[in-house]
Amino acid sequence: MNIRKTLLLLAMLATLPAARAEFPDRPITLIIPFSAGGPTDVVGRVAAAKAGEILGQQIVVENRTGASGTIGMTATARAKPDGYTIGLATVSTHGTAPHLFPKLPYDPIKDFTPVSNLVTSPNILSVHPSYPARTLAEFVEYVRARPGVEGYANAGAGGVNDLGMTWFLQITGAKMNSIAYRGSAPALTDAVGGIVPVIFDNFPSSQSYVKSGHLRALAITGTQRNPQLPDVPTFAEQGYTNYDVTAWYGVVAPAGLPADIRDKLADAFARAVRDPATAAKLADTGAFPLGNTPAEFGEQIQTEKDRWGEVIAKAGIKLQ
């Protein structure tokens, strides 16, 4: 080969994209948009430990809290779409908040690549053991008689817990004050401490306090009772048949994530939540392991966003 030909060959090689190392070749960061010890955090850590094992790389959890999870989701949307930064989206960040935050820095559909929805869970209304109301009916009567006096703790303004309670109060005609925190964990601290003796929360974070008697549960959402707290009746059983609020936690990546990386992540997370030991850990919290495909999760996000848009518009719900 003469010198010209060699140079030409080298020039051609230089224009070829560098071969991509097999994904993942370094640790992955999973952004959890709520505080440590809350349901998003617990689900994220349990699933990430197993998914990391399957992928052969550690998945490092990073809690980026505030504004009902939208701060952590903004960081996820703005990250490089290379699979090394992913986030755990929830019904709050992708279903409710988009309709309530006028300046939300992301579009829940366009700015993300859905990967896999890990679990769904009911919500639960509980009170401090010293609270006068012992049943849901007594609770409604009690707060109705004190419009704007009683408060309820929740995981973030405009999130599913704030909104779920707001919707319930609208149905009952009662008025309470929303006391919002940076996630379920700090909201629970104040509920268990009796500082804000009412809490509407995702089931996984509240259930252990109900089991230990630190909180008294009045009702859970959903069509059936939860095996973790079989004595707690549903809202539907107590007459609120058109009222339902489900929480979910799913892995998303920034928009533009290459399909092969997306599928690898989705497969690892889906296998993780179906792994018997991991599924048992999740079920112990009262959550229902799912692990669906990117396409299924994408459809679900769209449906949830639309559904909450309708609920919010119909009920005329606004942030307090």
Q: Count CB neighbours of 181 within 10 A.
A: 26
Q: Cis omega before residue 122 (within 30°)?
A: no
Do residues 285 and 38 make contact, with C-beta atoms less than 8 angstroms apart? no
Among 72, 83, 159, 294, binds ligand GLU (CB under 6 A): 159
Per CB under 6 A, does 222 bind ligand GLU? no
Per CB under 6 A, does 87 bind ligand GLU? no
Kindly determine how many residues on this chain lie close enough to bind ligand GLU according to the rule CB under 6 A. 19
Distances (CA, A) of 94 to 33, 139, 159, 239: 12, 30, 10, 29
Q: Count CB neighbours of 320 within 10 A.
A: 12
- Strands 123-127 and 198-202: what pairing? antiparallel
Interface of this chain with ligand GLU, residues 184 to 213, rule: CB under 6 A: 184-185, 202
Per CB under 6 A, does 278 bind ligand GLU? no
Q: Which stretch binds ligand GLU (CB under 6 A): 101-109, 111-119, 180-188, 283-291?
A: 180-188
Max intra-chain CA distance, the chain:
95
Which residue bears the tokens 């990073």?
62
Q: Cis omega before residue 98 (within 30°)?
A: no
Do residues 81 and 253 make contact, with C-beta atoms less than 8 angstroms apart? yes
Q: Which stretch binds ligand GLU (CB under 6 A): 9-17, 52-60, 87-95, 267-275?
A: 87-95
Closer residue to ligand GLU in complex, CB, 92/117: 92
At residue 306, what is the residue type? Answer: D
Per CB under 6 A, does 69 bind ligand GLU? yes
Q: Which stretch binds ligand GLU (CB under 6 A): 33-41, 127-135, 238-246, 285-293?
A: 33-41
Per CB under 6 A, does 34 bind ligand GLU? yes
Reduced to 3 states (helix: H, G, I; strand: E, B; else coil), residue 209 is helix
Per CB under 6 A, does 122 bind ligand GLU? no
Closest approach of ligand GLU to the CB of residue 279, in Å:
20
Closest approach of ligand GLU to the CB of residue 12, in Å:
51
| Binding positions for ligand GLU, rule: CB under 6 A | 34-35, 38-41, 69, 90-92, 155, 159-161, 183-185, 202, 247
